[in-house]
């Protein structure tokens, strides 16, 4: 088939980490090594940046964090790389979870000083559930960090995955001299350089090469012993085990100083999987299938505030996407064509004529898409596995400017369409409740409502435990809920009935009194239930 060559050269992955582990810095440096940018700026600099980086929302620049997933596409050694840079902050974890449904592999960044942190464990749980192949970068070797072997043991214990170091550091912090490549038997000498790429690499015949002693003197024995220990303790690297999500190759480096990144990128290009089959309501769809299909995993409004544009990000799963061609919007049961599909390099967008499985494209959206929507060449199926979780924190929306009610309504609708938060409305009172994963989301929502929509809102405290979607066969099944628990009943944006429990006891009582109702803490965006929560 004509598409196979294009499919074979595509690698679509996400970078994930705990906040401040160096994820966004790594993203920028991968662009530097690929030649997509020529000089790197410090990611958290307050100066005006003249380079392409992945944080483009104004609030991200101010706070120095990523709060929205960014899509970056570039070429490297004949491969088309689609990189999805995700939020690191735990308050925006749900956006990261959704993004992981659109990738085929992951690079996980770990701070050598802090080791495995809470958010790292949560993200790895999602990867493990989906058997997503993972490559690990232990970052910030220019700082005084923990013993490398201790870090490797902690990764295996806390993340429940076997590891296999493919590079290993010599020293750390002020004594850091470089990394040894265990596959190629080369040593890369460390030089601090935050903006440009420099190569200082020596090849050896192995750990017994006399040249090691000639260069490192008595320190060569420590390097030799470490390498022999690695080869003795860890099994030889097996690509199949990596692709099956059972073993994670490990690299050491300093993303800020452009060190150890080339080895990581070169190995990623060799190992990472091409686009893989995806599950739908009619079975698995293979990337090599002739007919086009794809799904929306993210919606973002106002990427360019001057133009108030709204973009739906679509992962291509099969066939070939072509500009100005009619495709079937399954949920709306209507055909649509897209004259201006876009690919991305951070803020920079370019027109796409064709796209293949693995690619992520942006479709300008006039309020026709929701997260989880499927596009096909006419077939009626939906892609599965795009989660919607119960929020953990709830606040009542208070409009501070009644003259801007329409702007507030529009802003809440658009921001919740993006998946930044979930909106619940009480049918009788029109009371609006925002549910989020973390407190920081309220700050972002308030900021964007004002800056992008001119609406002023406050959020008042609401005593709530958790939200549960109600699944039932007959209206009679929820009669007791509607009569006696109406104060706790809301509808979501798809008009599905939701019970917001004040406490775990209130939940237990509601379940006891309504035995024919299922209380679901997680559903799919296309309304295919994937998990029950009790």
Domain end: 230, 245, 271, which one? 271
CA–CA separation, 501 and 505 (whole Å): 9
Q: Pick from 111, 99, 95: which is nearest to 20 by CA?
A: 111
Task: Give the least confident one: 18-22, 213-217, 300-304.
Answer: 300-304
On whether residue 229 sits in a domain, the answer given is yes
Asked if pLDDT for residue 354 goes beyond 90, the answer is: yes
Chain segment 237-290, per-residue pLDDT in tens: 999 999 999 999 999 999 988 888 888 999 999 999 999 999 999 999 999 999
- Clarify whether residues 119 and 219 are in a common domain: yes
- The two tokens of residue 212 are 């090691």
- The top-scoring range by mean pLDDT among 40-54, 412-426, 517-531 is 412-426
Asked if pLDDT for residue 90 goes beyond 70, the answer is: no
Q: Three-class SS string for 195-210?
A: CCCCCCEEECCCCCCH
Chain segment 358-388, per-residue pLDDT in tens: 999 989 888 788 888 999 999 999 998 777 7
- Clarify whether residues 429 and 316 are in a common domain: no
On whether residue 292 sits in a domain, the answer given is yes
DSSP notation for 168-221: EEES-GGG--EEEETTTTEEEEP---SSS----EEE-SSTT-HHHHHHHGGGHH
List the domain range (segments joined by +) for residue 163: 4-271
Domain end: 213, 245, 271, which one? 271
- Clarify whether residues 263 and 287 are in a common domain: no
Burial of 41 (0-12, 13-18, 19+ CB in 10 A): middle
Q: Pick from 403, 406, 324, 338: which is nearest to 368 by CA?
A: 338
pLDDT value, residue 10: 95
Task: Give the least confident one: 37-46, 136-145, 410-419.
Answer: 37-46
CA–CA separation, 437 and 439 (whole Å): 7
Domain end: 251, 271, 291, which one? 271
- Clarify whether residues 59 and 182 are in a common domain: yes
On whether residue 524 sits in a domain, the answer given is yes
On whether residue 354 sits in a domain, the answer given is yes
Tell which phi-psi region holds residue 347, choosing left (phi > 0), alpha (psi between -120 and 50) or beta.
alpha
Q: Pick from 248, 77, 224, 108: which is nearest to 166 by CA?
A: 248
Q: Which helix (H) or strand (E) holds 33?
A: helix 23-34
Q: Which neighbouring-strand residues pair with 388?
A: 523
CATH number of the domain to which 392 belongs: 3.30.70.3280
31, 72 contact by CB (below 8 A): yes
Asked if pLDDT for residue 47 goes beyond 50, the answer is: no
- Clarify whether residues 64 and 132 are in a common domain: yes
Asked if pLDDT for residue 298 goes beyond 90, the answer is: no
On whether residue 382 sits in a domain, the answer given is no
- Clarify whether residues 236 and 350 are in a common domain: no
33, 77 contact by CB (below 8 A): no
Q: Pick from 47, 83, 50, 90: which is nearest to 67 by CA?
A: 90
Beta-carbon contacts of 138 under 8 Å, excluding residues fewer than 6 positions away, are: 110, 112, 148, 151, 250, 251, 252, 253
Q: How confident is the model at residue 70 (pLDDT cuts 50, 70, 90)?
A: low
Q: Pick from 462, 460, 464: which is nearest to 400 by CA?
A: 460
- Clarify whether residues 308 and 335 are in a common domain: yes
pLDDT mean across residues, the chain: 84
* Neighbour tally for 99: CB within 10 Å: 25
Q: How confident is the model at residue 11 (pLDDT cuts 50, 70, 90)?
A: very high
Task: Give whole-number Cα distances, 515 to 390, 409, 470, 471, 473, in Å.
Answer: 21, 36, 12, 11, 12
CATH number of the domain to which 90 belongs: 3.40.50.300
- Clarify whether residues 296 and 445 are in a common domain: no
Asked if pLDDT for residue 203 goes beyond 80, the answer is: no
On whether residue 428 sits in a domain, the answer given is yes
- Clarify whether residues 99 and 39 are in a common domain: yes
- Clarify whether residues 283 and 261 are in a common domain: no
Q: How confident is the model at residue 424 (pLDDT cuts 50, 70, 90)?
A: very high
Question: In this prediction, what percent of the chain has a pLDDT beyond 70?
Answer: 85
- Clarify whether residues 35 and 143 are in a common domain: yes
Asked if pLDDT for residue 52 goes beyond 90, the answer is: no
On whether residue 341 sits in a domain, the answer given is yes
- Evaluated on CA atoms 120, 123, 125, 127, the torsion sign reads negative
Rounded to two decimals, the pTM is: 0.79
CA–CA separation, 298 and 86 (whole Å): 11
On whether residue 257 sits in a domain, the answer given is yes
Residue identified by tokens 């080791």 is 115
Asked if pLDDT for residue 44 goes beyond 60, the answer is: no
Q: Pick from 412, 408, 409, 410: which is nearest to 422 by CA?
A: 412
Residue identified by tokens 């960044």 is 109
- Clarify whether residues 136 and 191 are in a common domain: yes
Per the structure, how many domains does the chain have? 3
CA–CA separation, 186 and 178 (whole Å): 11
Backbone angles phi, psi at 421, to 5 degrees: -160, 175
């Amino acid at each position: 088939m004509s598409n196979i060559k294009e499919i074979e050269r595509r690698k679509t992955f996400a970078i994930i980490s705990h906040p401040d582990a160096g994820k966004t810095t790594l993203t920028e440096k991968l662009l530097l090594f690929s030649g997509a940018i020529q000089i790197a700026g410090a990611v958290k600099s307050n100066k005006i940046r003249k380079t392409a980086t992945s944080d483009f929302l104004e609030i991200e620049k101010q706070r120095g964090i990523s709060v929205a997933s960014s899509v970056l596409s570039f070429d490297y050694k004949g491969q088309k790389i689609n990189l999805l840079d995700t939020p690191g902050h735990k308050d925006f974890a749900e956006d990261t979870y959704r993004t992981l449904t659109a990738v085929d592999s992951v690079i996980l960044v770990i701070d050598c000083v802090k080791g495995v942190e809470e958010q790292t464990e949560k993200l790895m749980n999602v990867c493990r559930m989906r058997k997503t192949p993972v490559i690990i970068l232990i970052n910030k070797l220019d700082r005084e960090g923990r013993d490398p072997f201790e870090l490797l043991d902690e990764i295996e214990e806390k993340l429940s995955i076997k590891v296999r170091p493919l590079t290993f550091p010599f020293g750390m912090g002020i004594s850091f001299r470089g990394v040894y490549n265990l596959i190629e038997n080369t040593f890369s000498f460390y030089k601090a350089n935050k903006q440009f790429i420099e190569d200082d690499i020596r090849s050896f015949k192995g750990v017994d090469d006399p040249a090691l002693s000639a260069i490192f003197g008595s320190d060569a024995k420590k390097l030799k012993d470490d390498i022999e220990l690695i080869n003795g303790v860890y099994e030889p690297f097996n690509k199949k085990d990596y692709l099956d999500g059972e073993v994670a190759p490990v690299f050491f480096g300093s993303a800020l100083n452009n060190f150890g990144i080339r080895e990581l990128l070169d190995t990623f290009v060799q190992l990472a999987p091409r686009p893989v089959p995806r599950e739908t309501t009619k079975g698995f769809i293979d990337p090599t299938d002739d007919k086009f299909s794809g799904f929306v995993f993210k919606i973002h409004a106002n990427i360019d505030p001057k133009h108030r544009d709204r973009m739906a990000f679509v992962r291509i799963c099969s066939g070939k996407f072509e500009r100005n061609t009619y495709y079937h919007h399954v949920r709306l049961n209507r055909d649509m064509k897209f004259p201006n599909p876009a690919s991305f390099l951070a803020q920079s967008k370019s027109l796409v004529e064709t796209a293949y499985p693995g690619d992520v494209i942006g479709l300008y959206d006039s309020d026709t898409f929701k997260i989880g929507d499927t596009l096909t060449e006419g077939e009626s199926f939906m892609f599965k596995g795009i989660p919607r979780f119960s929020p953990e924190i709830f606040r009542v929306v208070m409009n501070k400017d009644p003259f801007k009610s329409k702007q507030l309504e529009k802003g809440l609708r658009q921001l919740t369409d993006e998946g930044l938060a979930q909106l619940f409305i009480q049918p009788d009172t029109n009371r609006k409740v925002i549910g989020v994963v973390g407190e920081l989301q309220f700050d972002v929502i308030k900021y964007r409502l004002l800056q992008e929509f001119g609406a002023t809102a406050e959020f008042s405290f609401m005593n709530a435990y958790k939200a549960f979607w109600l699944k039932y066969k007959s209206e009679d099944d929820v009669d007791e809920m509607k009569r006696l628990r109406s104060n706790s009943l809301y509808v979501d944006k798809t008009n599905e009935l939701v019970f917001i429990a004040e406490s775990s006891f209130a939940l237990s009582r509601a379940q006891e009194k309504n035995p024919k109702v299922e209380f679901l803490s997680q559903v799919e965006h296309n309304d295919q239930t994937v998990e029950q929560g009790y």
